[in-house]
Structure formats: structure tokens, C-alpha cells
Structure 1
Amino acid sequence: MTSPQLPPNAYTNAPQQYPNLILGSLQLLFWLVFRPSAWQNHLKRIDPNLKSDSPLIISLKQGRWRNLALWRLFIQGYFILPILANFLLGLVLCVLGEPIANIALRVAFGVAFGVAVGVAVGVAVGVAVGAAVGVAFGVAVGVAVGVAVGVAVSVAGCVAGCVTGGVTGCVTGGVAVGVAVGVAGGVAGGVAGGVAVGVAFGVAFGVAFGVAVGVAVGVGATINSWLPVLSFPFLILWNSLLYRLDKGRNGKSPCLLRFHSAFWDEWQRLHLRGLDEYLLFVIENNPVEGKAALEYLSTSPQRWAAQAVQIELDALSLQSCADVEAICKAHRSLVTGELESEVSPLLRIFSRISEDVDAALNQASAYNQRLLLRDVADKLNLQLQNFARSSDKYTVRFYPIIKSWREIVTNYVDELAKIAELRQEIDSPYITGNPITLEQEIFTGRNDIGLRIEQLLRDRRRPPLLLYGQRRMGKTSLLNNIGKLLPNNIIPMFVDLQGAPSSASDHAGFLYNLAREMEKSAKKQGLTLPSLAREVLKSDPFTYFYEWLDKVEQALEQNTVLLALDEFEVLDNAIAKGRFDEQDVLGMLRHLIQHRPRFKVLLAGSHTIEEYQRWASYLINIQVVHISYLKEAEARQLIEHPVKDFTLRYEPDAVERVLQLTRCHPFLVQLLCAEIIVLKNEQDPSIRRLAILADVEASIPEALQSGSFFFADIQNNQVDATGQAILRFIAAQGEGAIVSCQTLLQQFPDANITFNLLLQRELIEEVDDGYRFQVELIRRWFV
């Protein structure tokens, strides 16, 4: 993700080492202290099997000595670093006025001892330990003389041992290295300083050793606790300087952000103030570099800054939406599921609104677009009021955005209305591709079915209900709108089993999705149900689901739930495939019906229970509610007055022809009327708003074409080859033709079962001693 102008792997835990031997050596030492993950990744680049606590001699014995990168690491860690450390020591002593001869002696001793001890420890203990001990020991020897040699070396050895032991995960090993080095230094000091010095060291060491070990252990064990606090003020100054320099350079790439301590100090847990502002500045000026930095920080101790920046980026993205097209795409870029913070509910609000706008703009007619967008505008008004009551910093940040969205949606609705009136276009309110939702005004009739369901719900036997009807008869539309037909104390909870519940992989997923759909449906009715977490269901799904139902009953107060399960056949398929256990799932429904009087269960499908024996054995005494064609008065209303202020008028014979062609089939009435509106909108405005018989006839071919998915489903999925042949034979006899049973049996002997199926599917009907098509439009499809 890094820019070509950036150093390779600049915003990762695997930065490249400087090619220069000296700078690269210092970089290794820096990684050991501040960035151990970079050190580990550097070793993996040299050899995937090389680890920081692997003894160097093992690596050489395993035949890796031909690896030039390994020799480079050996030279940098065990030769160059001790030399550099003692050279720096020599410069300091020179400034302090130490004689040149003494400086040369100390540096020579320091380098010699540092290299020797570093190699020895590296070979015996590990790569990281050897490098750190070599540097610490070499400096200590260079500083020390006489008695001080022993004391300083012992302390330095203890400190180095504990620090490096901490790096490699072994504090005890570090203490042991420190003690051994201290003893060796004491001996070296004794030899170098003569007998008297040796005696003096023996006395001094006894006192100093205990203190030195204690200090070393304390320092090594707690350094990661106190060093971040001690260095914090200096880091803030350093980071602020980088930010100022970058702003002065106008964000020129590559930025200085990579030198920010958040990218090299892995021990710093305190929030580095201003990091979020700096990161946002880089993202705005260098998106590629900024996103690489954002990705790195999202898994680092400074992830708070990444989260704050991501929230602001989401806000800026939402704020940039200048029209409804931009709003409808906004939900695609919002990651609302992964970001769990106080701003998550706000982002989910915007995501849902964006999805609603997207659904509205996908409507085929301008009328339905306006209808759904008005509902979106109402939701935005409600959210705007809620936002105005809150003083939370994020709500205040997003308030202008939701206000802007409301204005955009409202203005677009007004613009659509003006365009339609100016062109004198007829808005089509008809819904032919999807079920009619609660918000859509066009839902018509079905009062008799609503009354029948209400009567059965009051039955003391509490029988389960089956809403049975052929496809596209309006079952789902009825369930979406059934709350309009029932008393207020009955709360419909609609669950589409074709969706998430039946797609789950286990019982916990099924019950979680079932509860979630119930919550969403109840919310549309103004009732808030308690939530049910997925994690709770994992150990004992049905027990915890029953406990959740107890809470739901408490929330119901005096109301009754109508649990409407649409497309129950899909759940049966999941049971047949073994994804769910029949006894557990269907037994749960039976238990719900028998032992929870506040819950009524209604199934909906295009098959009878007799066709699904397993359901019949669990749902005893099920009552069937048949949904079929609309009543003639309901169909007339759907044709002439589908919605308020409908601008198209029909001549009487045109209405009669629509009724003849469709037989009041709800889907086919809408299909044909929608095509009539399309035809009228192409005509001259002087005759546009009056439909005549010729308009109806001219719309039939287009209706057969645009509704081909409906007719093809009948042909391919609802009847077999014999059934298709029978339908084609009857269709060929002409409109309204009745074909005698004798004729049909001569053409199709032994087809009694098929005739019964065609009758059950409501495709043909018995008339006198023959059969004919029930619906003329379906007959025309089979001609």
C-alpha cells in the first residue's frame, strides 16, 4: 500500500535495514530496545528459522554459514556496535579532559572485552542477548579501572543481562549472565590493577554486588513500565515538531509521519496526543501513504487514533453526499459491523437511510420512488429531532450531515412531483416485482381474509394457521400489511423464512435470526422487544431462546403476537438436508403453540400441510386460510383508484376487459395496468389520461413479456411435461373455450392425477363436463 516514493515497508513491522553498515548497526540496536517486532522480522528475512534466542553456533552448524546476510548481522552486532559504543565513550572522555593514553587504553579494553563477551554469549545463549551484552559489557569495561572495573562491569552485566533476558522472554537467564559477567570483570580488574586493587575489589564487590543485582533486576523487569512515562513529554515534542514540519512542506510526499513515535516505539501505551489530527492531514494530502499508516495503527497500541480518524473519514464521506445518487451509494463504504464504539449506532442510522434511498431509486416508477422517498424524509425528520436533543460530541458532529440529507431528499421528492406534473405523466403506483410493503399505499382489499384470521386467533383451542395460496396471489403482501386488518392488540411479527433464518448453519444461528426478524417486525408496529445476543445461544440455544420469549411476553403487556412465518417450505428443505433437527425445530413451534397462549403461529406457503407430512404430525388441527383472487370490487378499486389522486381514468369497457383478462388475479391486474400506464405515457398529452379498450388490448403483449418470469415459473416449476401438454392443448382452443373431459381423456389417457394437480394449482377449472383456463392471460402464454 505504500507509495513508490516511500521506503519499502515504511508503515509495517518489517522495515528495511539501512544498507550502510554503520547506520544499519545503530538501527539494529534501536530495534532491540524500542521495536522488537522489527528485530524479529529482520531475522526472518535473513533466515526464516532464525530466532532472537537461537544460539548463533547452532545457526552456523546447520549449514547457514554461507548466508551473507547472516555474516552481516554477525559483524554488525558483535564488532561494529561495540566499536561504535566505545568510540562514543572516547569522545565523551576527551571532552572531560581525560589523557589520550588513558582514553586509548579504555577504548581498546572496551572493544576487546565487548567483542569477546558478545560473541561468547551470542554463541551460547542467543543472537539478541549476545549483541546487547557485547555493547553493554564493552562500554562498562571501557569506563572501569581497577576496583571500579569489577563493580561497573558487574552492574552493567546485570543490567544488560536483565534487559536482554526480557527481550528474549527469560529474566532469570539475564540475571545469570549479569552475575557471570560481574565475576569475570572482577577478576579482570584484579589482574589489571595489581594485588592491592584485587583485595580492594574483593571487599567492594561483596557490598556492591547485592545492590547491583537488585538494581539490575528492578530496571530490567520494570523498564517497559516507567520508560514510556519518562519519555512521553519528549515524544510529544518530537511528534509535534514532525507535524509542523510536514505542514510547512504542505504534505509533500513522502511525509515525515513515518518518523512519528507511534511507528517505532512499541512500548508506548499512553495516547499520543495529536496523532489523529496528523494522520488525517496525511490522508488528505497523500491518500496512499495515509491509508498505509492507518492500517498499521489499527492493530497497534495507538489504535484509538485509527478509530478516531476512520470515524472522521466516514463523517466526511457522508458530508460529501450532494445528491440522492450519492446518498444511495453511501452504505456501501460504511463498515458498521466491525466498528464497535459509541459512534456505531449513528453510522448504522446513516447506513439504513442510504439503503432505503437505494431501494427507492430502484423502483420502476417515479410514483413509487416518491412514495418511498417521502417515508425516508419522515425518518430523517425523526432522527433530526433525536439528534437535536443530544449533546454527545459525535451526535453534534453528524447533526449537520443528517440535516443536509433531509434537505436533499425532500428537494428531490418535490422535483419529481414538479417534473411529473409538467410533463403530465401518469405515475405508476403498481408493484409487480416485489411484495407490497407496509409503507406502500396500493395494498387493496383482503378484508374477508383479515376477518377470518381474527376469528381463528380468538379460538380458545389456539390452532395454528396456514395461509395457503398460489404464487403471486399476494400472500407476502398480505402478511406485510396484515396489521391494517387486525385489532391493535394483535402485534404481527413477520418472518421471511426464505431469508436469514433458514440459511443459518446451526440451531443457534436459526434462532438468532428468527429473534432478530421478530424484533425488526415488532419495531414497525411500535413495539420494542429485548435483544438476544448470538453468543448467548451457542451453549444451549433452545433454552436461552425460551428465556428470551419469557422477556418478550413481559414486553407485550396485554397484547398478543401473531408470528407469521412466510415460505415455510424453505425451512422444510433445510430440515430435509439435515441442517436443522426436525424434532428440535418443529417441536419448538408446537411447544410455542401449546404452552404460550400469547403467541399465535401462522404459516404461509403455496403448498398444503398434507404435502409436508412432518409438519402435519407436529401442527395438529391446523386451520387453512385460502387466499385466491381479489373480489371484483377490490379489483376495480385496484384498477381505477389504486392510490389517492390517481390521474388515469378508464372507460367502463376498458375496466371490464382488464377484469376478464386477469380474473381479478392481484399480480396480473397490477402487471397489465402497469403496462397500460407505460403505453399511455407514450401517447399525446391530449389523450394520455383516459384509457380505452384499445389501450388494454395493445398492452397485452407487453404484459406477457414483462411478466414472463411469472408465466415461466408456472410452466417450468408448477406442472410436469404432461401438464404442459394439457395446458397447451386447452389454450389452443381459444379464449373461454371449454374442452370436454372425454376429449381430454382421449388425448391424455391416465392423466387424472395431472388434472387434479392443475385444478389444485388454480390453472384450470371444471365447467359443466369439461375444463377451461381460469385466467385468460395465462391461457395466452400457453398458446
Structure 2
Amino acid sequence: MKHPTDNNGPDVFQPIHNPYIVGNPISDQKMFFGREDDFAYIQKKVGGAEKGGLLVLCGSRRSGKTSILFQVINGRLGPDFLPVLIDMQAMAVENDLDFLIKIAQGIVDAVGDSELSVDKHLLAQAEESSFAKFEKFIVRVNQCLGARKLIILFDEYEIFESHIEKNLISTRILNLLGNWVDYKGGAFIVFTGNDRLDERTAPYWSSFLTKALYRGVSYLSKRDTLRLIQEPVQGSVRYQDGVPEQIWTLTAGQAFYTQVYCQMLVDHLNERREYDVTADDIQQVTDEIVENPLPQMNFSWNSMLPMEKIALSIIGEISRDEAKPVSAKDMIAFARAQKVGYDIDPSKLNE
């Protein structure tokens, strides 16, 4: 691919399009890199289940869980699966029936069969119980699916707890979901959240504990991080040898921070009217991020325990001149030598 200066001449700067996304999940397939093993795992578990099932994608905030769901919605698993995304944070509900109607409408929209409707196949059912109505609705849905498998994706499952505590929905909703995954032809449900269900203190999840599978969502591999750094701006940005690896070292493959870094780097190049990235540019962008952190960074920092903040600060001090791994032993030795006044528990560091 030609570089912009090949056509415009060395003195004409053509602004670089900034493709990097910060603050929102990644829906564009061209900007999503890696996670092939996660999709293969989901496809295997969903495709191989005779009944329904429950998979919990666990990971810290901004680790990429919701972006994985968006890719599933975009057909990443293939034509044999029918995914339905339920955004728990965006969905306002008033009661159990309201919740079931909104799930049903999401399914109707995904199925795309003009003969299937919420009014006809849910609300018009003769049963008095809204749960009985919903079960009959699912029978009709299964008739429309053919050989496809229904996957219900619930983003931020912890919101179930707050809805129950506010009396917006009852625990019968969770009982219905638990029963739904148990029978032949049932849906496969995917939750995303920070924790495993067995780590939650709320008692609502007891019926799910023996059903749930868990998959941790963590950092991108080095290969996929380097692809995210280079491929979206290929033909526009030229990296000095070793610079992409330097960005990978700084972000450790954390998808959100890699997007942040690359977005700010493209802005930096446009401001300077340059296409070439050197180690000096990396240092300038690093300084800018540290001096003017994003709100998401401030939130993450403020959410940390005191020991976590101290540990990260020590890592920063030890790695000030050279980015390198820092062991728990190194952190404890540094804290004692500098008399930080905080007793660091080695067992907690290793968690």
C-alpha cells in the first residue's frame, strides 16, 4: 500500500484517519483482533450442548468482554447460531412481565420471522402466569429456529442483583433462566461479569452454581497486540524498528489501554504533521497519558485497594528507566528500603 507522501509529495501532509475506539465496545470487525481461542471455546460449548447451558465470561472492567459479545452478535460463531444481546445496563424494567417482554422482543427481532410476535405468542396466551406465557412463547420460538441454536447474551449479569434488591424483578426470573438451560432445546445463556457466580455474596445464584462454565477474559497476546497497533493505520503510519514492541511493553496487551495509546499517538502525529513514529514520540505520548489520564483510568485507580495502589506505584518507580517484570519480592524489598510505611502482604500480591 502506498504511503500518503508517495502521491502528495514530501511537503504536503494528509491528516491520518484515526480508527481507534476508546470508551465503547468494539463492534467493527476490522478493529477487533485476537480472541480466536475464546470464540472457538464458545462455539464448542454451545454447539456441543444437547440442552441449553450457561457460560460466564469473567474479567476486569474494560478487558473486552462486551466487545466479544458484539462480535458474536455480528455472526462470529457462524450461521448455525442465533445470538440475542440483552444489555442489562441500558434496559429499564418495571416488573417481571416487563423484563420478559423485552427479552421476548429481542428474540423476535433476531429470529426475523414475520409470523412470530410478542403480542400474538406471548401476551395473547391464555395462561394467567407471565412465566407460563413465556414458556409457551419459547416453544414457538424453537419451532422457528430450525437447526439453529439460540444464544442469549446478558452483559453485566451483576445488574440482576440490583434489580432484585430494588424490587424491579423477582428471583423467579433467575429460576426461569435456570430451568430454561436445563431442558432439551433450551437456550444457551452467556453472562459477562467481573466475578464468577460462586464469588458473589448474593444468594440468588445458588441454582446456577452446578450449571455454570467459566472463561476468563484477559489480555491480548503479543501477536494480536502488535496487529492492533499496526494494521489499522497500515499505509499511513510508519513505525521505527522496535517501537510497536515498546507500545506492547507499556500496555502489556490490555486491549483498552492499547486502543487509548494508539488513538493518542495518531492525534499526536496529526498535531505534528508527521507519519513516522519514533521512541521520542512514544515518550511524549506516555507523558501526556500520565499527566492527563482519561476518566476511565481515574475510575480504575479510585476503585483500587490501598495495597493495589502502592504496588502499582512501586512497579512504576522500579520500572522508571526500563519497563520490566517486577516480582513480589522486589516490591517488598523496595517498600522496606524506601520506608513507605505500609506492610505489604506477599500472599495478597500473588493474588
TM-score where L is the length of structure 2: 0.82
Structure 2: how far apart are the matches of 1:654 and 1:692?
A: 7
2:103 aligns to what?
514
1:618 aligns with 2:212: no
Q: How does 1:13-52 map to 2 (within 5 A)?
A: none
2:254 aligns to what?
665
- On the 8 A contact 2:328/2:349 being kept in 1, the answer is no
1:755 aligns with 2:331: no
Structure 1: how far apart are the matches of 2:140 and 2:23?
A: 37
Structure 1: how far apart are the matches of 2:328 and 2:136?
A: 59
1:474 aligns with 2:64: yes
1:632 aligns with 2:222: yes
1:699 aligns to what?
285
1:201 aligns to what?
none
Structure 1: how far apart are the matches of 2:25 and 2:291?
A: 20
**Given the alignment, which residue of 427, 443, 450 partners 2:39?**
450
**Given the alignment, which residue of 572, 579, 594 partners 2:182?**
594
- Once the two structures are superposed, residues 5-52 of structure 1 have per-residue CA deviations (whole angstroms, 9 ceiling, x without a partner) of xxxxxxxxxxxxxxxxxxxxxxxxxxxxxxxxxxxxxxxxxxxxxxxx
1:727 aligns to what?
312
**Given the alignment, which residue of 408, 412, 428 partners 2:18?**
428
**In structure 2, the residue corresponding to 1:565 is in which secondary structure?**
strand
2:297 aligns to what?
711
Structure 1 residues 428 and 706: alpha-carbon distance in aligned structure 2, compared to 1, 3 A threshold? farther
Structure 2: how far apart are the matches of 1:570 and 1:655?
A: 38
Name structure 2 gaps, 5 residues minimum: 1-11
Q: How does 1:204-219 map to 2 (within 5 A)?
A: none
1:495 aligns to what?
86
- On the 8 A contact 2:251/2:258 being kept in 1, the answer is yes
**In structure 2, the residue corresponding to 1:491 is in which secondary structure?**
strand
**Given the alignment, which residue of 524, 527, 532 partners 2:118?**
532
Shift of 1:474: 0.9
Shift of 1:754: 4.8
- On the 8 A contact 1:529/1:552 being kept in 2, the answer is no
Shift of 1:536: 5.3
Structure 2: how far apart are the matches of 1:535 and 1:701?
A: 58
Shift of 1:450: 0.5
Structure 1 residues 532 and 722: alpha-carbon distance in aligned structure 2, compared to 1, 3 A threshold? same
Structure 1: how far apart are the matches of 2:165 and 2:335?
A: 37
Structure 2: how far apart are the matches of 1:529 and 1:489?
A: 21
- Once the two structures are superposed, residues 105-162 of structure 1 have per-residue CA deviations (whole angstroms, 9 ceiling, x without a partner) of xxxxxxxxxxxxxxxxxxxxxxxxxxxxxxxxxxxxxxxxxxxxxxxxxxxxxxxxxx
1:585 aligns to what?
173
Would you tell me which structure has more strand in proportion to its own residues? 2
- On the 8 A contact 2:51/2:186 being kept in 1, the answer is no
Q: Which moved more, 1:537-546 or 1:482-491?
A: 537-546
Structure 2: how far apart are the matches of 1:707 and 1:527?
A: 47
Structure 2: how far apart are the matches of 1:571 and 1:516?
A: 19
- On the 8 A contact 2:157/2:192 being kept in 1, the answer is yes
Structure 2: how far apart are the matches of 1:527 and 1:656?
A: 49
1:641 aligns with 2:226: no
- On the 8 A contact 1:519/1:529 being kept in 2, the answer is no
Shift of 1:440: 5.3
Name structure 1 gaps, 5 residues minimum: 1-421, 760-783
Structure 2: how far apart are the matches of 1:632 and 1:750?
A: 31
Root-mean-square deviation (CA, aligned residues, Å) is 2.8
Structure 2: how far apart are the matches of 1:540 and 1:469?
A: 37
Structure 2: how far apart are the matches of 1:608 and 1:598?
A: 22
Shift of 1:553: 1.1
Q: How does 1:341-380 map to 2 (within 5 A)?
A: none
Shift of 1:545: 1.6
Structure 1: how far apart are the matches of 2:163 and 2:207?
A: 17
Structure 1: how far apart are the matches of 2:344 and 2:30?
A: 48
**In structure 2, the residue corresponding to 1:568 is in which secondary structure?**
coil
Structure 1: how far apart are the matches of 2:25 and 2:14?
A: 28
**Given the alignment, which residue of 235, 241, 266 partners 1:652?**
241
- On the 8 A contact 1:495/1:518 being kept in 2, the answer is no
**Given the alignment, which residue of 242, 249, 265 partners 1:676?**
265
Would you tell me which structure has more helix in proportion to its own residues? 1
Q: How does 1:744-783 map to 2 (within 5 A)?
A: 748-749=342-343, 751=345, 754-755=348-349, 759=351
Structure 1: how far apart are the matches of 2:77 and 2:124?
A: 34
Structure 1: how far apart are the matches of 2:38 and 2:113?
A: 24
1:347 aligns to what?
none
- On the 8 A contact 1:447/1:485 being kept in 2, the answer is no
Structure 1 residues 560 and 650: alpha-carbon distance in aligned structure 2, compared to 1, 3 A threshold? same
Shift of 1:512: 1.6
1:549 aligns with 2:138: yes
1:464 aligns to what?
54
**In structure 2, the residue corresponding to 1:641 is in which secondary structure?**
helix
The code of the aligned residue for 1:531 comes to S
Greater relative CO, 1 or 2 (CA 8 Å, sep 6+)? 2
The code of the aligned residue for 2:71 comes to N
TM-score where L is the length of structure 1: 0.39
Shift of 1:446: 1.0
Q: How does 1:78-117 map to 2 (within 5 A)?
A: none
Structure 2: how far apart are the matches of 1:567 and 1:464?
A: 14
Structure 2: how far apart are the matches of 1:726 and 1:705?
A: 20
1:486 aligns with 2:77: yes
The code of the aligned residue for 2:87 comes to D
Structure 1 residues 528 and 474: alpha-carbon distance in aligned structure 2, compared to 1, 3 A threshold? farther
Shift of 1:731: 3.3
Structure 2: how far apart are the matches of 1:529 and 1:707?
A: 51
- Once the two structures are superposed, residues 555-591 of structure 1 have per-residue CA deviations (whole angstroms, 9 ceiling, x without a partner) of 1111001111110011122113333222x01101111
Q: How does 1:73-222 map to 2 (within 5 A)?
A: none
Percent of residue pairs identical: 23
Shift of 1:519: 3.8
Structure 1 residues 749 and 621: alpha-carbon distance in aligned structure 2, compared to 1, 3 A threshold? farther
List structure 1 segments (4+ residues) > 6 angstroms apart after TM superposition: 526-529
The code of the aligned residue for 1:603 comes to F
Aligned length: 324
The code of the aligned residue for 1:434 comes to N
**In structure 1, the residue corresponding to 2:192 is in which secondary structure?**
strand
Structure 1 residues 567 and 529: alpha-carbon distance in aligned structure 2, compared to 1, 3 A threshold? farther
Structure 2: how far apart are the matches of 1:706 and 1:750?
A: 29
- Once the two structures are superposed, residues 628-650 of structure 1 have per-residue CA deviations (whole angstroms, 9 ceiling, x without a partner) of 1111111111111027x652222
Bigger radius of gyration among the two: 1
